[in-house]
Amino acid sequence: MFLNKIKQLEPRFGSWAIQNIALYIIAIQVIVYILMLAGFVDFQRLFLIPSLVILEGEYWRLVTFLFIPPLNPSSLFGMLFLLISWYIFYIISATLESYWGTFVFNVYIYICIFATAILSLVGFWIFKDPQVFVKPDILFMSLFIAFAMIRPDLEFLLFFIIPMKVKYLAILSALFFLLIFIGSSLSNKLIIIGQVFNIFLFFTEDFIRFIKQRRRFKTQQKVARENKEQSRHQCSFCGITEKKNPNIEFRYRNENNQLLCICDNCRKLQ
């Protein structure tokens, strides 16, 4: 339902959408990373730290936190992982943009950014925790879960060796994310909620449909199991069935327009 409402806005606001927005985000992060290596930029000045935004008026942090690279490697091996992170981010984003369209994908990203930023400020205003900050990889989990929802059976190579379907990686990531949520402070809990808020907006119907399908499947399994357990023959006199005694034979006869089932033992007594 929410997704349909967003699509209804596209004829009016679709021209504002930025095509390949993920590529622009990556490009700016690459520039920022180079400037960080050259010593021209202090990445600590870019983080979204709610206490500094509210108390010190450092409002640029509401935007610059998006342009911090997801990793800050200090070795060539770490730099390789940074490049891989950017590559996966682009592949996931390109797939989602192709699936939803540019406008809807833009909205998905904006909701994640705005919800995270607003809830981080609300969290500081309520709980007064000066140590809280928003991590630079806020988009990755949100995009990865969405990617797993639309391409669940696609396989990735875990550790470049083990093939694993995206849906299983998403489940593991969600469990890890849940553990982080449980162990976080109340301020950080609000930030985490902001990161995944758009997932619930876009996929609530899919979650509900999945739950209904699981219930329907279990009901069908139960009915099939009960049907399988039911006996084909049950003596109309003693009630014995072929399940209880598979060696007994059964006969049928019509009495007063009623079909009776009679086992060998009862037939011999008559």
Mean pLDDT of 111-137: 89
- Would you state the pLDDT for residue 5? 82
The pLDDT confidence band at residue 240, using thresholds 50, 70 and 90, is confident
Which is it for the CA torsion 203, 101, 150, 162, positive or negative? negative
Rank 70-74, 140-144, 231-235 by mean pLDDT and report only the highest.
140-144
| Burial letters 63-72, b for 16+ CB under 10 A, else e | ebbbbbbbbe
| CA dihedral of 142, 146, 147, 150, whole degrees rounded to 10 | 180
pLDDT at position 187 over 70: yes
Burial class (CB in 10 A: 0-12, 13-18, 19+), 32: buried
- CB burial class (10 A; 0-12, 13-18, 19+) of residue 177? middle
Q: Is the pLDDT of residue 76 over 70?
A: yes
The identity of residue 192, as a single letter, is I
> Which residue's entry shows tokens 């909620």?
193
Q: Which residue in the block uniquely carries the two structure tokens 């939803």?
A: 100
pLDDT tops 80 at residue 256: no
Q: State residue 230's pLDDT score.
A: 61
Residue for token pair 């679709």: 14
pLDDT for residue 170: 86
To which residue do tokens 């998403």 refer? Answer: 170
106 vs 200, higher pLDDT: 106
Q: Which residue has the tokens 């089932």?
A: 261
Max mean pLDDT range (2-11, 107-116, 231-240):
107-116
* Residue 77 clears pLDDT 90, i.e. is over it: no
Find the length of the chain.
270
> What confidence tens digit (pLDDT) does each residue in 26-62 have?
999 999 999 988 889 888 889 999 999 999 999 999 9
pLDDT at 110: 94
pTM (2 d.p.)? 0.77
